[in-house]
Amino acid sequence: MRISVVIPAYNEEENLKELLPKVWTQVGQEAEVIVVDDASTDNTARIAREHGALLIQNPYNMGNGASVKRGIREASYDNIILMDADGQHLPEEIPKLIKEFEGVDMVIGQRGKDAQRWWRRFANSIYNALASYVSGVPILDLTSGFRMLKKSKAVNFLHMFPNTFSYPSTITLAFVKAAYPIKFVPVKVLPRKKGKSKINLLTDGGRFFVIIMRISVFFSPLKIFLPVSLIFFLTGVLYYLYTFITQHRFTNMSVLLISTSVVIFMLGLVSEQIASLRMERKDG
């Protein structure tokens, strides 16, 4: 199996020194290792060249997701492994992904709870639950960046990837919606050894949630619109019962709430049809 390994990196010279030799050991010299340098200010580019990686350099800091997109486009082989450069993803776990890749289009490395801080575990549990509800498929680790996938399938959705850290969420839901089979494989993940995490709880946490809501509406809009519509409808009915009992009349607020619920429901139906047409066009 010919494999391309895509590693986005930003100021990761210390971690790449240890990571790249181990990656080559696992995938062999016939594979391809691509390091996408996101305009690093350290020696990331030099370290990548010294260890035989194909180097792609962004002209400016474009973001983790943008680096992944560039790496996937430049990959020579259809079998692509995505992993981070910070040393948390162990090259020794690559054979697990390769072993489970037969018969599916994407294998996702499922991180254990011990590998994440409590606030990340809490946030990821919310993301996983939302993604499972939207997709109808149990999503065990929506945001894992350690995965193996088919380039021929992934290129259909590259335009949808955000340029930030949340591209795994988009590609996971995209594969599920397009009926490309996926699989989750438990892998060991280490805490970051050197350097500082590029993810900020306050700024990126809210951005992740907005992006996940956006892609949820993109893939299964009715599952988002319908609950909102029901909330407005039930609120309107309950308010009507309250005012009828206490004031013996049907108020304008009740009319507004019930009418709003109908509008939201119709918007959901239209959005669902548009989403279906988009996916059919991709399949075609």
Instruction: Name every residue whose Cβ is closer than 8 Å to that of residue 259 and which is 6 or more positions away in sequence.
Output: none
Measure the CA–CA gap between 233 and 265, rounded to whole angstroms: 10
Instruction: Name every residue whose Cβ is closer than 8 Å to that of residue 174 and which is 6 or more positions away in sequence.
Output: 156, 157, 160, 215, 219
**Is the whole model's pTM more than 0.75, yes or no?**
yes
How is residue 10 annotated by DSSP?
A: S
What pLDDT is recorded for position 281? 59
8 Å CB contact between 61 and 38: yes
Residues of the chain with pLDDT under 70: 114-119, 192-208, 278-284
CA angle 61, 63, 69 (to 5 degrees): 115
| Ordered DSSP codes for 264-278 | HHHHHHHHHHHHHHH
pLDDT in tens, 94-111: 999 999 999 999 999 998
Burial class of residue 228, CB neighbours in 10 A (0-12, 13-18, 19+): middle
Residues in the chain: 284
Strand order in the sheet with 106-111: 54-57, 32-37, 3-9, 79-82, 147-150, 106-111, 182-187
Other CB atoms within 10 A of residue 194 CB: 12
What pLDDT is recorded for position 282? 57
What pLDDT is recorded for position 215? 75
116-155 burial code (b ≥16 CB/10 A, e <16)? beeebeebbeebbebbeebbeeebbbbbbbbbbbbbebbe
What pLDDT is recorded for position 280? 63
Distances (CA, A) of 32 to 36, 67, 81, 100, 218: 13, 16, 10, 20, 34
Measure the CA–CA gap between 198 and 165, rounded to whole angstroms: 9
Which of 107, 93, 98, 89 is closest to 16 using CA atoms? 89
Measure the CA–CA gap between 68 and 60, rounded to whole angstroms: 15
Token pair belonging to 176? 């599920």
Packing angle, helices 221-247 and 252-283, rounded to 10: 170
Token pair belonging to 281? 């066009």
